[in-house]
Structure 1
Amino acid sequence: MQKLLISIVALIALVFGVVIYNNLPKPEPQALVYDPPRTLESFTLESSLGNDVTNSNLQGQWTLLFTGYTFCPDICPTTMANLRKAMPDLQKQAEHPVNVWMISVDPQRDTVQRVTDYAGFFGPEFVGVRAEHPQLYPFVNGLGLMYSIPDEGATDYLVNHSAAIVLVNPDGQRQAIFKAEHVMGEIPSVNMTQLITDFAIIASQFD
């Protein structure tokens, strides 16, 4: 009789614990999450993979995309280096592989070879992509990002571009955007600790 009573009490405690757990507030990512995810328009870009990439290349993996260029003095190398450091933690959080696409927004100077060499420096998960402006601008704009070149006619110029990072899910849809933090006197950059935390939440809900 005593064993039965103990079993009943234990069962009640278990059920009560499950009810409490299910009613706890679920963690919410700080990133802007698209619900439902947004479909990307069809695109074709040159890439460091040795062939053109299309929408199908985004399927079956998580992809972090951001705009940059190989002559970028600050935001781009900082973002790439931070993503390389974050990659082991990101890979642990998802069942699907995690890759990074750096979208060159400097088609005049960034050849396929340049973006290949640049992306390859950071590791096999990093892919460089490029296109001419007629294909590039709609693709970048469709991601919710932007770029502009004030004086492309000069030999040495800077490109204005977004510092945010876009997350595409394994279905090839735009899932979220991680916005850069803007601190006076510092390079705009995405908080990688927060990105890793947010990615874990988003990936767990997807996978």
Structure 2
Amino acid sequence: MPDPIPALALPLGRASASLRALALALEQRDAYTDGHCDRVCRLAALLGQRFDLDRERLAHLALAARFHDIGKIGVRDDVLLYPGRLDAARRQRMRLHPELGERLFRATERDDAAQVAHLIRHHHEAYDGSGYPDGLAGDAIPLEARILAAADGYDAMTSDRPYRPALPARAALEALAAERGRRIDPEVYRQLEAVLRRDPDA
């Protein structure tokens, strides 16, 4: 099987200086978020292949996945590193990270900065319109952002956090299944299930 992540989004040693700087900043800010972004990148790229995205769109998706949480660099420690579930005020501050991430990625001034930043902005939109920052719904949400939402949710649930242990893969899939048509695009969920059946370690 070919590597699912296009060359443009592969080793940061071969990437632009601006991407290496962003990756280093994220790693230094929060090691969990950095590892999470790596895993989401791989899973999102596998999902993008299931939707027959062309090479350019796969590259944009992989970059957006790798840097989808870059905006957390601008989130205060008492929110980002809070060892429990966020209260309403902290949650509101955390919800600023997609917009912060959009601005940070645009600042790279890459040729693809606008396309990738657009996906970063919308990775927390929900299929039923209840997400943020813009309350987009259904097909108004870019497909790549709908893919990111599913990959992001799956990895977050299957990772250890200070306030809860990782869920088993099956439990995470069941939780996402319950969100079909609400937070998650039903077709994206179907493809996620297919990817994980084929490669449980994806």
TM-score (norm 1): 0.28
Task: Tell which structure's C-alpha radius of gyration is larger.
Answer: 1
**Greater share of strand:** 1
Compare relative contact order (CA 8 Å, sep 6+) and give the higher one, 1 or 2.
1
**Greater share of helix:** 2
TM-score (norm 2): 0.29
